[in-house]
A and B are shown apart, each in its own frame.
Chain A
Amino acid sequence: MPTTASSAHVLSDVAASDSTLRRFLHGLPGVDAVGLEARAASLGTRSIKTTAKAYAIDLAISMVDLTTLEGADTPGKVRALGAKAVHPDPTDRTTPTTAAVCVYPDMVAVAKEAVAGSGVKVASVATAFPAGRAALDVKLADVREAVAAGADEIDMVIDRGAFLAGRYLKVYDEIVAVKEACGTSARLKVIFETGELSTYDNIRRASWLGMLAGADFIKTSTGKVAVNATPANTLLMLEAVRDFRAQTGVQVGVKPAGGIRTTKDAIKFLVLVNETAGADWLDNHWFRFGASSLLNDLLMQRQKLATGRYSGPDYVTVD
């Protein structure tokens, strides 16, 4: 696996100044919205049946970042979430674990304990999630706390205000600083809040900005705004990671988050991955779903495939 060093080598001058960065980002090919959405919709018509569906459901379960990000989160809630992540379907121990649980920094320790020994990762949002409106020091303290508590992954939010004001270097520098705070133990997911960036051109620029700054994952959304992950914005980000690897040799993951609730939706996203970035990304090291209710629908569909009859919400666990 090539390291970020080669990325720095290939695109070393890009972040030399605000103007070089702007020139690079604005020099990326434009995105035609209608064409992008049409392509996403067209891939959405793929018919995934029988063995392919079984494969896709298990893969999707293994990619879930099971998430709780509520003001009302308690240790009890987080422990229950951890248990669910480790044994998504208590009646069927062949069910894969989820990729991670995703919590606020103060819940990392509880989560860590709940998933101990299972291989399930603990991800923590940070950097004044979800608004990202705090001084850099505060954001970095947020990150360090989570990392110190054992977080395997940090989901940071970018400064959308700075991005929309065209201060790309500020956003870049912040990501670099957070990446440094993550150290070698935590992988960094960079959340763009695509719904606030508004245009596809911005989403493409943000994707490259994030990757140049050292993101291990680029992630659509916080789940806290009106428009979260969509097939189109995820497709666009998959194109970005594909092109970034082609240019730098560095592979970056993608995480759509928010609004993905059904198996049908999740499979559509997996089709996007398969036919855009390719099979190398069909692995929870490189693709995640930020979701909570999605898991139970996946489980019900899994039961349906196993038994031939439709399942119901009383046959999956609610926590």
Chain B
Amino acid sequence: MSDRLSVFKTYKLYVGGKFPRSESGRVYEVTDSKDNWLANAPLSSRKDARDAVVAARKAFGGWSGATAYNRGQVLYRVAEMLEGRREQFAREVADAEGLSKSKAAAVVDATIDRWVWYAGWTDKIAQVTGGANPVAGPYFNLSSPEPTGVVAVVAPQESSFLGLVSVVAPVIATGNTAVVIASEKAPLPALSLGEVLATSDVPGGVVNVLSGRTAELAAPLAAHQDVNAIDLAGADEALAKELEIAAADNLKRVLRPQPVDYFETPGIERMTAFLETKTVWHPTGSLGAGGSSY
């Protein structure tokens, strides 16, 4: 059998459910851990970031308004789709992170399981974080969590796939939409994930994936007045501070970078960081104007 010339994949952004090239028309070289060229990734510009925010905002109403059960089904579908592409992602992760085949496979398995974990959370988080409040008066009083809105996610730089999913899944599980900046040096698993999301019933715009220079993309997102929150997981100390300062302009919710072992089962903190609590009051009163025996 003669050697067959393989077909390269052109990696593209994932924005609003579509796969555009960067508006800048530019790309940058992505290499493996041994500096071998892997692919050219789109070098996203500020305008790509802006377009992604528009797409995320547009998707927010429908996604946050979907039933929690439906969101759970969709997230589980992502796991199903990934399961069928385990080998592809194992290869990409191995290349991206310099892992052995078996370690990369373990990473992919953990990532798939992470989707399953969050799929199960969509219709439980409200019961865990919300509830009735026994106010001292004739009022029904209920607190419920609601998604914050559009969340900018600076994905982890090192853990290009498990880390990525570990920060994106909790954001969308609760009904937020996300603009994700993929790991700068290892963006390919993130860009491939876009292809999976596109075929997993995730509505367009719910997750938007940008590749490029983290600092260049994060700055306009942190300052963007129509972004409600930012996860700084993949920002270094200096950048995180700079972004947090910019985020103060419209009081974005900020999740600061912290050391995380992404193999550990997460807590609910990454979900609650991007949830608002809404408390609704309504008078109850009694059955009759003069009181009642019931």
Is chain B in direct contact with chain A in the complex (CB below 8 A)?
yes
A residues contacting B by CB (< 8 A) are 32-35, 37, 194-195, 197-200, 202-203, 226-227, 230, 232-233
Q: Which among A32, A35, A194 is the interface contact of B290 at CB below 8 angstroms? A: A194
Q: Is the CB of B289 within 8 A of A35?
A: no
Could you tell me if A34 and B290 are in contact, using CB atoms closer than 8 angstroms?
A: no
Is B284 an interface residue when CB atoms closer than 8 A count as contact?
Answer: yes
Q: Does chain A have a CB within 8 A of B263?
A: no
Query: Are B291 and A34 within 8 A (Cβ)?
Result: no
Whether B288 lies near A199 (C-beta < 8 A) is yes
Could you list 14 further interchain pairs (A-B, Cβ under 8 angstroms) beyond the known A33-B286, A232-B289? Answer: A32-B283, A34-B138, A34-B283, A35-B283, A194-B289, A195-B289, A197-B289, A198-B287, A198-B289, A200-B289, A202-B289, A227-B291, A230-B289, A230-B290
User: A227 touching B283 by the CB < 8 A rule?
Assistant: no
The CA-CA distance from A298 to B289 in the complex, in Å, is: 28
17 contacting pairs across A/B (C-beta < 8 A): A32-B285, A33-B283, A33-B289, A34-B138, A34-B139, A34-B285, A35-B283, A194-B289, A194-B290, A195-B290, A198-B289, A198-B290, A199-B289, A203-B289, A226-B290, A230-B289, A230-B290
Chain A residue numbers with a CB within 8 Å of B284 are: 34
Kindly list chain B residues whose C-beta atoms are within 8 Å of the C-beta of A33: 283, 285-286, 289
A198 to B283, CA, bound (A): 18
Instruction: Give the complex CA separation of A200 and B286 in angstroms.
Output: 11
Contacts of A34 in B (CB 8 A): 138-139, 283-285
- Cβ of A203: which chain B residues have Cβ within 8 Å of it? 289
Q: A34-B138, A34-B139 are in contact. Are A198 and B288 (CB under 8 A)?
A: yes
**Chain B nearest CB, measured from A309 CB (Å):** 38
* Dominant SS among interface residues on chain B: loop
| A33 to B290 Cα, complex, angstroms | 10
B291: A residues at CB distance < 8 A:
227
A32 to B289, CA, bound (A): 10
Proximity bits, B31-74, A CB within 8 Å = 1, else 0: 00000000000000000000000000000000000000000000
- On chain B, the residues within 8 Å of A32 by CB distance are 283, 285
Question: Complex Cα distance A194/B291, Å?
Answer: 12
Q: Please name all residues of chain B whose beta carbon is closer than 8 Å to the beta carbon of A232 when the two chains form the complex.
A: 289
Min CB distance, B58 to chain A, in Å? 38
The complex places the Cα of A12 from the Cα of B289 at a distance, in Å, of 31
Which A residue sits closest to B292, measured CB to CB?
A198
A227→B289 contact, CB < 8 A: yes
Chain A: CB-nearest residue to B285: A33
Q: Which chain B positions have C-beta within 8 A of A200?
A: 289
Can you name the residue of chain B whose Cβ is closest to the Cβ of A226?
B290
- With a cutoff of 8 Å between Cβ atoms, the chain A residues found around residue B138 in the complex are 34
Chain A residues positioned under 8 Å from B287 (CB to CB): 198
Closest to A221 in B: B290
Given the interface contacts A34-B138, A34-B139, does A233 sit within 8 Å of B283 by beta carbon? no
